[in-house]
Structure 1
Amino acid sequence: MRIGELAALLGVSTRTVRHYHQQGVLPEPPRRANGYRHYGMRDAVALARVRRLVQLGLSLDEARDVVADDRSRELTEVLAEIDADLARQEREIRERRAKLAEVLRRAEAGSLGPDDTASPDLLAFLRVVSLPESKAAAWDRELLVLMDSVAAEPGRRRAFVQLESLAADPEVTAIGHEFYRRLDELADAEPGDPRVAPLARSLADYSMEHLLADSGLGAHGWDPALLDPFLDGLAPAQAEAVRQAIGIIATGVAKDAGTSATAG
């Protein structure tokens, strides 16, 4: 098959495949006598592996090493590993749906707040913060409502006090608007766009330094899986940036919690 067929098979664009070639992540087959490059099943499996590794938060350099190792393994062994990963994903999706079912139950029961949408703390925060006219900002607002609905006291109240303090700082507000602008710029980009990883790292670093440090969200309080179903509201490259940022944050929070436990 040709590059367009390979891209369609994995649900990506030919631009993404070529980007992976340029980065040395995905081996590029030589041109045949007819001038075209032809891809086989192993190429399709390699592309699927790259896509999955990127979703898990690995950098392209790290994904490159995994795919390079795969080339020395039997295809059946690689396929069996992918099958096991799909089984894990299936279990995770069932768990997420169970959590979302609980959120839906609370929404139907009117227990999410006085307006059946958000708690008084969230309503107060949204009155203070100034969100720009941005699709990324609108998605972020919806995400705040979701996280508010499942957060536990007293961590939720402490987090909102911190958020209100940050929102009142013009410099912090400007930084937040810049993040929204950078996310909006990815609306028409592919997940492999070179702007994705730097934005993810910036979002994660800023969040861990300014938003999560004193929020009371420990390793067990930060649940990246809960957010994943809601990334569908973003464009592919935007979702990829947020997904990578969440992975970095989750790893950093868990690492900090482990260090604290050891120190104690």
Structure 2
Amino acid sequence: MRIGELAALLGVSTRTVRYYHHQGVLPEPRRLTNGYREYGMRDAIALARVRRLVALGLSLDEARDVIADDRSRELPEILAEIDADLARQEHEIRLRRARLAEVLRRAEDGTLGPDDTASPALLQFLRLVDVPASESAAWDRDMLMLMDTVATDPATTWAAEMNADPEPAHEFYRRLDELADADPGDPRVTPLARLVADFGVQHLPVGVDPGGPGWDPQAVEPFLDELAPAQAEVIRQAVRMIGGR
């Protein structure tokens, strides 16, 4: 199959496949005599593995090591491991649906408290970053609570990671707070946006394709009303950077 067929099979864009090639994460087949690159089952499996590993929070460098190890193994062994991973995902989805059903039940009967929709890992993260001390963190709180409740891949994984080392979160919110009275063209905006984008790429939910047909940078706009102009520009630039990868 050609690159477009491979991308369509995994629900990503050809830009994403080429980006993984460029980063050395996904091996690129040699060109045939007709000038095209021919992809096979191993390539499809490798691309699926990369997407899953990135969704689980691994960096591209770490994903590259896993894919390199896969190339030295027999196909049945790799497929058996993927099957086991799918079984774990199925179990996790059942748990999340049960949790969401409980949240819905409590919302309908009026017994749902303000923090009852979040996972323990997210609540711990919010305590560690000391939300009341940061206006931008307080804005982020509502977004994170919503994402953690309804997203396919909730904040639990990265929140647990941040709990182990909360300093990057403190640094992000501190730098965002410093932009409260700044102009959108402030030179501090783009470096902070790049930091947000790098983190975002490593923690995209499963099935999200940056730059693909479903990627709408404008979708974030309704959530930026409570931020200062320079702070909102950080988020806008970060979303555009993620979509351009």
TM-score range relative to shorter protein: 0.5 to 0.7
Partner of 2:93: 93
**TM-score w.r.t. structure 2 length?**
0.54
The match for 2:198 is: 197
Query: Over alpha carbons, which structure has the higher Rg?
Result: 1
**Residues 83/175 of structure 1: CA separation in 2 closer, same or farther (3 Å cut):** farther
Measured in 2, the distance between the counterparts of 1:130 and 1:72 equals: 50
The DSSP-based 3-state class of the residue aligned with 1:112 is coil
Give the 3 Å change call, closer, same or farther, for CA 89–130 of structure 1 in structure 2: same
Task: Select the residue among 174, 177, 182 that pairs with 1:173.
Answer: 177
Q: CA offsets per residue over residues 136-188 of structure 1, 9 Å max, x none?
A: x6x8635436879xxxxxxxxxxxxxxxxx9xx9965346999xx88xx89xx
Which residue of the partner structure matches residue 155 of structure 2?
Answer: none
Percent of aligned positions that are identical: 62
What is the Cα deviation at residue 7 of structure 1? 0.4
The equivalent of 1:67 in structure 2 is 67
- CA distance 1:27–1:98, shift in 2 (3 Å): same
Task: Provide the rounded CA distance (Å) in 2 between the counterparts of 1:105 and 1:64.
Answer: 43
Q: Which residue of 2 aligns with 1:79?
A: 79
Instruction: Name the Cα RMSD after superposition.
Output: 4.6
Partner of 1:4: 4
Q: Deviations over 1:100-129 (max 9, x none)?
A: 111111100111259xx9xxxxxxxx9x98
Determine the C-alpha separation between the residues in 1 that align with 2:76 and 2:216: 30
**CA shift for structure 1 position 196:** 3.6
Q: What amino acid maps onto 2:59 in structure 1?
A: S
**1:13-52: CA deviation from partner (whole Å, max 9, x where unpaired):** 1111011111111111111111110100111011111111
**Aligned residues of 2:134 and 2:174 also touching (Cα < 8 A):** no
Unmatched segments (≥5 aa) in structure 2: 118-130, 150-169, 220-245
Counterpart of 1:4 in 2: which secondary structure? Answer: helix
The offset of 1:55, in angstroms, is: 0.7
Tell me the residue number matched to 1:144.
145
Secondary structure of the residue aligned to 2:6 is helix
Give the structure 1 partner of residue 108 of structure 2.
108
Q: What is the alpha-carbon distance in structure 1 between the residues aligned to residue 14 and residue 147 of structure 2?
A: 35
One-letter code aligned to 2:198: A
1:78 Cα deviation from its structure 2 partner: 0.4
**CA deviation after TM superposition for structure 1 residue 95, in Å:** 0.6
How many residue pairs align between the two structures?
A: 168
How far apart are the structure 2 equivalents of 1:129 and 1:81?
43
Q: Measured at CA, do residues 70 and 200 of structure 1 come closer, stay the same or move farther in structure 2, by a change above 3 Å?
A: closer
Unmatched segments (≥5 aa) in structure 1: 118-125, 132-136, 149-165, 187-193, 205-227, 239-264
SS in 2 for 1:36: coil
**Correspondence list, 1:1-264, <5 A:** 1-113=1-113, 141-144=142-145, 173-174=177-178, 196-198=197-199, 235=215
In structure 2, what is the Cα distance between the partners aligned to 1:170 and 1:69? 40
